[in-house]
A and B are shown apart, each in its own frame.
Chain A
Amino acid sequence: MSKRFHVVSRLAVRNLRRNLRRSVLTSLAMIIGGTLLMMSLPLGDGTHEAWIESAVRMGGGHVTIQSPEFRSSRKIDDRLPADVRVASRTALSRAGIAERVLIATPQLTLGGLASSAAGARPAQIVGVDPASEARFTILDEKVTEGRYLEPEDRLAAYVGAGLVESLELKVGSRFVVTTQDAEGEIAGQLLRVVGVFRSGVPEIDESLIHIPLETAGEWLHSGDDVTNIAILVRQSGQVEGLRRDLGRELAGPIEVGAATVMGWREAMPALDAAVRIDDFGNYLFQGILFTIIGLGIVNTVLMSVLHRYREFGVLQALGLTPSQTGTLVLIEGLILTALSGVVGIALGLFITFYFWGDGLDISGMWDEEWSFSGVVMEPVIVPYFRVARVIQALAFMFAIGVLASLYPAYRATRIDVAEAMKFER
Chain B
Amino acid sequence: MTEEDVPAVRTGEVWKVFEQEAEEVKAVQGVSIKIERGEFTALAGPSGSGKTTLLNLIGGLTRPTRGRVWVAGHDLTEMSNIQLARLRLEQVGFVFQAYNLLPVLTAMENAEFPLLLQGVEDAERHERVKELFERTGLSGLEDRRPGKLSGGQQQRVAVVRAVVARPALVLADEPTANLDSRSSEALLDMMLELNRELGTTFVFATHDARVMERSRRLVSLVDGSIVADESRES
Contacts and interface: CB of A to CB of B under 8 A. Distances in A.
A14 to B, nearest CB: 4
A18 interface: yes
A3 interface: yes
Contact of A18 (B90, B103, B161): B103
A319 B96 contact: no
Contacts of B53: 418
Given A4-B119, A421-B61, A318 B104 contact: no
A314 interface: yes
A317 B59 contact: yes
B96 A314 contact: yes
A260 interface: no
B177 to A, nearest CB: 13
Given A3-B116, A418-B56, A418-B62, A317 B102 contact: no
The CB with the most chain A CB atoms within 10 A, among B96, B103, B114, B116, is that of B116
A417 interface: yes
Interface string B65-82: 000000000000000011
Given A18-B104, A321-B81, A321-B82, A421 B96 contact: yes
B198 interface: no
Contacts of B56: 417-418, 421
Given A317-B88, A319-B85, A320-B85, A311 B117 contact: no
Interface of B is mostly: helix
The CB with the most chain B CB atoms within 10 A, among A314, A318, A321, A324, is that of A318
Interface residues of A, number: 25
A319 B61 contact: no
B81 to A, nearest CB: 6
B61 A418 contact: yes
B100 interface: yes
A85 interface: no
A18 B118 CA distance: 25
Nearest to B89: A319
A15 B104 contact: yes
Interface in B119-134: 119
A141 B129 CA distance: 80
Interface in A182-213: none
Interface in B81-100: 81-82, 85-86, 88-90, 94, 96, 100
Nearest to B120: A3
A418 B205 CA distance: 14
A320 B85 CA distance: 6
B186 interface: no
A418 B61 CA distance: 5
Interface in A261-316: 310-311, 314-316
B94 A14 contact: no
The CB with the most chain A CB atoms within 10 A, among B59, B62, B81, B104, is that of B104
A251 interface: no
B81 A322 contact: yes
A317 B116 contact: no
A14 B105 contact: yes
The 5 closest A-B pairs by CB, nearest first: A319-B89, A14-B104, A418-B62, A321-B85, A3-B119
17 contacts: A3-B116, A3-B117, A4-B117, A7-B117, A14-B104, A14-B105, A310-B100, A314-B102, A315-B102, A316-B88, A318-B88, A318-B89, A318-B117, A319-B89, A319-B114, A321-B82, A324-B85
Given A317-B88, A319-B89, A417-B61, 19 more contacts: A4-B117, A7-B116, A11-B104, A14-B105, A17-B104, A18-B104, A311-B102, A315-B102, A317-B59, A319-B86, A321-B85, A322-B81, A324-B85, A416-B62, A417-B56, A418-B62, A421-B56, A421-B96, A421-B173
